[in-house]
Amino acid sequence: MQFLQGIAHRLGALPARRVTWGLVLFFSIWVVLDVFVLKLSGGVAQSSYDAMVRARLVAAAPDPRIVIVDIDEASLARMGKEFGRWPWPRDTLATVLQHIEAQQPAAVVWDILFSDADRLSPGGDAAFNEAVRRSQRSHFSVVRLPRSNDSASQITRAALPGLWLLAPPSPNVPPPVAGESTVAKAATVALIPPALPAVASARLGFNNGYVDQDGVLRRYRFVEPLADGTAIQSIAASVLSATNLDAYKDYSERAGGAFDSRGELISWRKRGDAYPHISFADVFEQAEGVKPVAGQSTFAGKVVIVGATAPSLHDIHPSPLSNMQAGVDSLATVIDNALNRRHLHELPRWLQAGLAIALCVGLALWVQFKSVASLVPALLALPAALLGIGYLSLNGLPVFLDLHLAAGLALVFLAVLRYWNTLRRNYWCSPPSSTAQALAIWPWERSDAWLEGALDRLIDAVERHAPTCRVVVCDANVIWPATLRWPELARFAAVVGPQEAVLEARDKLEPALRRLARRSGEPVLLDSSPNRAELAKTIFMVWATFQKTDTNQESRPKG
């Protein structure tokens, strides 16, 4: 315990400016390491970001062109009576595809993988393969494997031409080494390819959900550049190629820039199930000749997404909106964002680091010209204000002002600085060390109590001009809504130290203290160095002289 007290004593004795700017340097180094190397806290703070998304006041309305043909639990139950458990024979999917295609939708998006042949029903595969071959509006999903496996893959653009961007970015390939072929080697892609020939030659897009470390989906990759300068497209970008070519060209150009493996933040709708769902079983029955439900619109001009929300099919993952977000609803959201060019950009990491460091520098400058105590209200207000700015940016702005790092840094910086300021007060408000020198007591009085900022400024002056002296004040800690119980006593302070030090620093201390105090008495010189109790008694007697002076002035006859 004494060892820890000794450390605290030495920390409290450190000069204020050195501590303040030392903390700025320490936190600046930490921010740079964290954002660019360690990546522990840089970027979106997950839980608070999710809460902000759910609490938005303004969110884009869902695109009315998007509709989901839902393989829900009701469809599994109804169709299971005839076709058994999922997966059903693919001629059922062929029937639904032909029915939707006949109504001339804008696109038919399959959030279903066709990576294996149906060995139990090869006729169903043949029927679906033929329906896909005739389809002009279908887009199919593939699963992208980790980029590290690309070199071991044998899948090139020739095998899956519909997976590559229609207008890929200009290749940025290093010049060939002398003696090597001048023909650039085509990039290979690691993925799970489709098993049906017609699907393999159709429009394709990877449909991976790249979740964050906590398993929550917050971002989506629309395109992904490859080693040879070309790029593959997501299923959302594939839909865009058939519905909004101008927006598609924008994604092609962006693919030529720096690749961010995190992807782009998804601009969510207000609810996770914001898009209309039509049961797959209902669509199948309509394709078989059953009349549609009254009031149900056709698929003409729609972007029809065929996917599953049935929990038993396991296409479910957490999102900021729901712990049980269906994958097909997330896909509908990113397609909506692509169609309407809704991009939610993030601040670059270097800018986040710069803002956090600039905030620390600003707080240090404030402390240098004001006091640590003046920042106490900002201990919670400043981080809350920074998070509030981030929340407001989610309500309609195209850029999410991610200030979580700056807010967290400000909170820790202020907390550490305030704790050190407590150690500093303990050091400078302790009695002078035992010495054989005679002491002097220089009493001061101010209109208000010596609290917070005034006490810090008194300590600053003593530290600068009389470092061997100490400050004696009545301990008075106020926590709102309480008030000082004895404000009359808290108005008094004294500078106590060796006589030579007090008298020598008098000319320098007095101008600084005059800005803080109402009046002062003459330094009282003691014959010896008293113990703590005797010193306290003497200081109270010196303070009492102020009261006697006031009484004498009031008792004088007027006129």
Residue among 357, 406, 360 nearest 384 (CA)? 406
- pTM score, whole prediction: 0.80
Q: Please state the rounded mean pLDDT for residues 197-217.
A: 93
The count of structural domains within the chain is 3
State whether 438 and 494 are in the same domain.
yes
Give the per-residue pLDDT at 434.
Answer: 57
State whether 301 and 373 are in the same domain.
no
Helices (H), 145-244: 197-200, 235-243
Asked if residue 286 belongs to a domain, the reply is yes
User: Is the omega angle on the peptide bond into residue 481 within 30 degrees of 0, that is, cis?
Assistant: yes
Cα–Cα distance measured from residue 35 to residue 28, given in angstroms and rounded to the nearest whole number = 11
Cα–Cα distance measured from residue 85 to residue 61, given in angstroms and rounded to the nearest whole number = 36
pLDDT-based confidence at 452, cuts 50/70/90? Answer: confident
Give the per-residue pLDDT at 557.
Answer: 53
Strands 223-225 and 219-220: unpaired
Give the per-residue pLDDT at 173.
Answer: 44
State whether 376 and 497 are in the same domain.
no
Q: What is the Rg, in whole angstroms, of the alpha carbon atoms belonging to the chain?
A: 37
Q: Mean pLDDT lowest for which of 161-170, 196-205, 262-271? A: 161-170
Asked if residue 551 belongs to a domain, the reply is yes
Assess whether pLDDT exceeds 90 at residue 306: yes
Give the per-residue pLDDT at 487.
Answer: 83
Assess whether pLDDT exceeds 90 at residue 372: no
Asked whether 251 and 237 are in contact (CB, 8 A), the reply is yes
pLDDT-based confidence at 558, cuts 50/70/90? Answer: low
Q: Which helix (H) or strand (E) holds 12?
A: helix 2-12
Q: Please state the rounded mean pLDDT for residues 471-489.
A: 78
Cα–Cα distance measured from residue 384 to residue 376, given in angstroms and rounded to the nearest whole number = 14
Q: Please state the rounded mean pLDDT for residues 154-182.
A: 66
Q: Please state the rounded mean pLDDT for residues 5-29.
A: 91
Q: Please state the rounded mean pLDDT for residues 533-541.
A: 90
Q: Mean pLDDT lowest for which of 141-155, 328-342, 477-491? A: 477-491
Q: Please state the rounded mean pLDDT for residues 319-348.
A: 93
Q: Which of residues 134 and 474 earns the better pLDDT score? A: 134
Give the per-residue pLDDT at 431.
Answer: 80
pLDDT-based confidence at 179, cuts 50/70/90? Answer: very low
Instruction: Read off the pLDDT of residues 239-284 as tens digits, 9 standing for 90 and up.
Output: 999 998 888 888 777 766 666 777 899 999 999 999 999 999 999 9
State whether 396 and 307 are in the same domain.
no
State whether 417 and 445 are in the same domain.
no
Asked whether 335 and 258 are in contact (CB, 8 A), the reply is no
Greatest mean pLDDT among 187-191, 209-213, 436-440: 187-191
Assess whether pLDDT exceeds 90 at residue 285: yes
Q: Please state the rounded mean pLDDT for residues 334-363.
A: 92
Cα–Cα distance measured from residue 356 to residue 506, given in angstroms and rounded to the nearest whole number = 42
Q: Please state the rounded mean pLDDT for residues 472-488.
A: 76
Asked if residue 153 belongs to a domain, the reply is yes
Calculated CA dihedral for residues 301, 303, 306, 307, nearest 10 degrees: -150
Q: Please state the rounded mean pLDDT for residues 297-323.
A: 93
Domain boundary among 380, 409, 426: 426
DSSP 460: H
Asked if residue 288 belongs to a domain, the reply is yes
Instruction: Read off the pLDDT of residues 63-89 as tens digits, 9 standing for 90 and up.
Output: 999 999 999 999 999 999 999 999 999
Q: Please report where in the chains the tokens 């712990």 appear, as a residue.
A: 323
Give the per-residue pLDDT at 359.
Answer: 94
Asked if residue 55 belongs to a domain, the reply is no
Assess whether pLDDT exceeds 80 at residue 436: no
Assess whether pLDDT exceeds 70 at residue 6: yes
Give the per-residue pLDDT at 461.
Answer: 92
pLDDT-based confidence at 307, cuts 50/70/90? Answer: very high
Q: Which of residues 530 and 199 earns the better pLDDT score? A: 199
State whether 511 and 407 are in the same domain.
no
Give the per-residue pLDDT at 273.
Answer: 93
pLDDT-based confidence at 229, cuts 50/70/90? Answer: confident
Asked whether 166 and 252 are in contact (CB, 8 A), the reply is yes
Q: What percent of the chain has pLDDT over 70?
A: 90
C-alpha distances out from residue 546 to 223, 491, 510, Å: 79, 11, 18
Instruction: Read off the pLDDT of residues 125-163 as tens digits, 9 standing for 90 and up.
Output: 999 999 999 999 999 999 999 999 999 999 999 999 999
Domain boundary among 277, 310, 341: 341
Q: For every residue of 186-216, which 3-state class applies, written as one string? A: CCCCCEECCCCHHHHCCEEEECCCCCCCCCC
State whether 7 and 105 are in the same domain.
no
Asked if residue 249 belongs to a domain, the reply is yes
Asked if residue 30 belongs to a domain, the reply is yes
Average pLDDT, the chain: 87
Asked whether 439 and 501 are in contact (CB, 8 A), the reply is no
Asked whether 86 and 75 are in contact (CB, 8 A), the reply is no
Domain boundary among 316, 341, 366: 341
State whether 506 and 537 are in the same domain.
yes
The Cβ of residue 131 has, within 10 Å, a number of other Cβ atoms equal to 20
Residue among 278, 274, 265 nearest 322 (CA)? 274
Strands 439-445 and 325-326: unpaired
State whether 282 and 205 are in the same domain.
yes
Identify the bridge partners of residue 68 per DSSP, sorted by sequence position: 277, 305
pLDDT-based confidence at 175, cuts 50/70/90? Answer: very low
State whether 181 and 266 are in the same domain.
yes
Q: For every residue of 51-97, which 3-state class applies, written as one string? A: HHHHCCCCCCCCCCCEEEEEECHHHHHHHHHHHCCCCCCCHHHHHHH
Assess whether pLDDT exceeds 80 at residue 334: yes
pLDDT-based confidence at 444, cuts 50/70/90? Answer: very high
Provide the CATH number for the domain around residue 485: 3.30.70.260
State whether 187 and 330 are in the same domain.
yes
Cα–Cα distance measured from residue 183 to residue 290, given in angstroms and rounded to the nearest whole number = 57
Asked if residue 13 belongs to a domain, the reply is yes
Give the per-residue pLDDT at 41.
Answer: 67
State whether 355 and 292 are in the same domain.
no
Domain coverage including residue 391 = 2-50+346-426
